[in-house]
Chains A and B, each alone.
Chain A
Amino acid sequence: MLAILRDLIRYNLEFRIGLFLVSIVVVMAALSVVSPYPAGDVYVVPPDLPPSTAHWLGTTSRGQDVFWQLTAAIRNTLFFGIMVAALSRVIALVVGLLAGYSGGWIDRVLMSINDTFIIIPLFPILILFYFVLRDSMSTPLLATIMACLGWAYDARLIRSVALSLKTREFTQTSIFSGMKTHEILAREHLPYVLPIVFSTTMNNMNWSIGIEVTLAVLGFTDINTPTIGGMIYWANQHTALVAGIWWWIAFPIGLVVMTFVGLFLLAVSMNEYIDPRSRLARMGGGR
């Protein structure tokens, strides 16, 4: 694993840039632990100060230090993205592999559920949830809802790979070597779908962060938990741009764009590395 990382850093420019950007974002998130101000508190510093040595990225109209507020916001936003991605990956993998491998009625049932989720309109549902749940809408709950809505497309992709793997002769060899269904899925087929899982993880994080930011900007989330979207929401509430408090908007947007680009580059470069065919070629095979 370490060797792979070393190789990627040494030979892949996209990976280097992506890693650099994501590291900055992660370091920011980590710094939230040593923040001098509790993230939820307001009016702890003088409001509306432009960037200076005392407050690197300035302060907000609500009397928060933008830099330290950002550390907490990006941490929560990242957690949110990871949570959604991890949960939805698990669902997509289980549904996709099982449907593709089992075939028959299991496949039909799973895929009709899957198709329902693909055509459900996303935004109305999320907003509906917000109006139904109101104050009990917490970040983990939103993440769970998003995960339930964000697996279907990838599950279909995984299923199509699983379908073709099922007809490969080595699957029969595995069966006649005494492997059980779950062993075949986990050991024989998983390596072939992992590239899909990895590349979609980063993309799914980007997707969920994007939606979270949008929802937050519109005020449809728990705005008391600091997130990137939440910061932009409050800045808008205080008409920060009109008032010339540009740093309140520019830095959160800059950071979230950095996250997007970083994750995207990681996805692209790791995808190439994990792809079974290129992996095989690296091992010296491939016909």
Chain B
Amino acid sequence: MSGAAEQAPVLQVRDLQAHFRTHYFGVNREVRAVDGVSFDVNRNEIYGLAGESSSGKTTLIKTIAGLLKPPLEMVGGSARFSFLPDWDAVGRAPPEVVRAIRWRHLSYIMQGSMNVLNPLRRIKHSFRDFAWRHLGGSKAEFDLRAAAHLERVKLDPSVLAAYPHELSGGMRQRVTIALATICKPEFIIADEPTTALDVVVQKDVLGMIRTIQQEMGSSVLFITHDMGVHAALTDRLGIMYAGRLVEDGETPEIFARPLHPYTRHLIGSLPRIGDTEQREGLEGTPPNLATPPPGCRFHPRCPLAMSVCTTTVPAMIETLSGHRVACHAVNPGMAA
């Protein structure tokens, strides 16, 4: 960590808003899946994003990666990468610029591995399609390299000859991780890459992501709802709820001193081996983002909710050094 360039964030997200806008035959619907999110990802760190299903994690990183297909639209704010200084978001750069950085500088491990793997092509063909162009070499050399890389995710080279449907979910997921890392990019976005894996493989894969990240000095934006994974892997952590960031800071700090009631619930609800205490899930359901609750979006489920929470959006305040939180109970009188 030396020099000013080293310390400038690789990714700066500012007040990012991304909505799903559908206009079908006269009915307008707007799902505000990402609504004013700001955070930084520094060089050489793994930034984690946690939050329950449908809290907008995938939408957030799709927007950051510039994968904006209708009905998803980037409505406001910016998401600036240091290697793409001329544009304030990948989605706003021209397609040829985006093509040049994809896989080499920025790679994306998608949620649901079947989306990336063409069901009609053998795995080795998928590898050639994605990475041969960037890595060069003869076909045989490339296949050897792919096989060696697959071994790092504990996959047998025979997998190269298989079709995706012949592999179990976990095997497919490891294939996609191998695909995304074979070019050693500087910024890796990973959406629930280990959710389908068993704990042993998960641990290997997390170790592999960490190793590659350290070898390259690259940065990783890592999404999972599994708090155990965050605790073990990420350097800093952001907690999302209903399209907004509610808390972020250094991961050990968040686990040691969770400030937001939702974060506290996330950490407290996990059962542990050796502990037989009865635990309950969070009551209520995640809000519908087409008609989110006013004020703090967590208030219908929050044990600490006060009247101000139902009307006023809490501001994201740096309550402790490097630890931001958006909650009226923690930061009284701070409206957004």
Contacts and interface: CB of A to CB of B under 8 A. Distances in A.
State if A and B touch, Cβ cutoff 8 Å. Answer: yes
B315 to A, nearest CB: 31
Contacts of B71: 281, 286
B25 A284 contact: no
Contact of A282 (B24, B119, B165): B24
Contacts of A10: 25-26
Interface size class of B (residues with CB under 8 A): 10 to 19
Nearest to A281: B22
B92 interface: no
A177 interface: no
A7 B26 contact: yes
A286 B290 CA distance: 13
B191 to A, nearest CB: 13
A176 interface: no
Contact of A281 (B24, B119, B165): B24
Nearest to B54: A287
Contacts of B264: none
Interface in A242-287: 278, 281-282, 284, 286
Contacts of B27: 282
A165 to B, nearest CB: 13
B25 to A, nearest CB: 4
B165 A167 contact: yes
B25 A11 contact: yes
Interface residues of A, number: 11
B121 interface: no
B29 interface: yes
A197 B24 CA distance: 22
B25 A7 contact: yes
Contacts of B26: 7, 10-11
Most chain B Cβ neighbours within 10 Å, of A164, A167, A278, A284: A284
Contacts of A167: 165
Chain A interface SS verdict (over half) = helix
Interface string B272-300: 00000000000000000010000000000
Interface string A76-96: 000000000000000000000
Contacts, number: 21
Interface in A136-165: 164
Contacts of B24: 278, 281-282
Nearest to A6: B25
A8 B26 CA distance: 10
Interface string B25-41: 11101000000000000
Interface string B66-87: 0000010000000000000000
A284 B165 contact: no
Contacts of B29: 284
A284 B22 CA distance: 8
Interface in A1-25: 7-8, 10-11
Contacts of A8: 25
B238 to A, nearest CB: 22
Contacts of A282: 22, 24-25, 27
A282 B119 CA distance: 28
B228 to A, nearest CB: 25
A125 to B, nearest CB: 31
Interface in A164-179: 164, 167
B308 to A, nearest CB: 32
A164 to B, nearest CB: 8
A10 B23 CA distance: 13
Contacts of B119: 164
A169 to B, nearest CB: 12
A282 B25 CA distance: 8
Nearest to A12: B25
Nearest to B58: A287
A26 B2 CA distance: 78
Contacts of A7: 25-26
B24 to A, nearest CB: 4
Contacts of A164: 119
A278 B24 CA distance: 8
B3 to A, nearest CB: 43
Most chain B Cβ neighbours within 10 Å, of A8, A11, A278, A281: A281
A10 B27 CA distance: 13
A281 B26 CA distance: 13
Contacts of A286: 71
A8 B22 CA distance: 16
B286 to A, nearest CB: 13
A172 to B, nearest CB: 15
A282 B28 CA distance: 9
Nearest to A7: B25
Nearest to A167: B165
A167 B169 CA distance: 13
A286 B33 CA distance: 13
5 contacts: A7-B25, A164-B119, A167-B165, A282-B25, A284-B22
Interface of B: 22, 24-27, 29, 71, 119, 165, 290
Given A10-B26, A281-B24, A282-B25, 16 more contacts: A7-B25, A7-B26, A8-B25, A10-B25, A11-B25, A11-B26, A164-B119, A167-B165, A278-B24, A281-B71, A282-B22, A282-B24, A284-B22, A284-B29, A284-B290, A286-B71
Closest CB pairs A-B (n = 8) = A7-B25, A282-B24, A11-B25, A281-B22, A284-B29, A281-B24, A11-B26, A7-B26
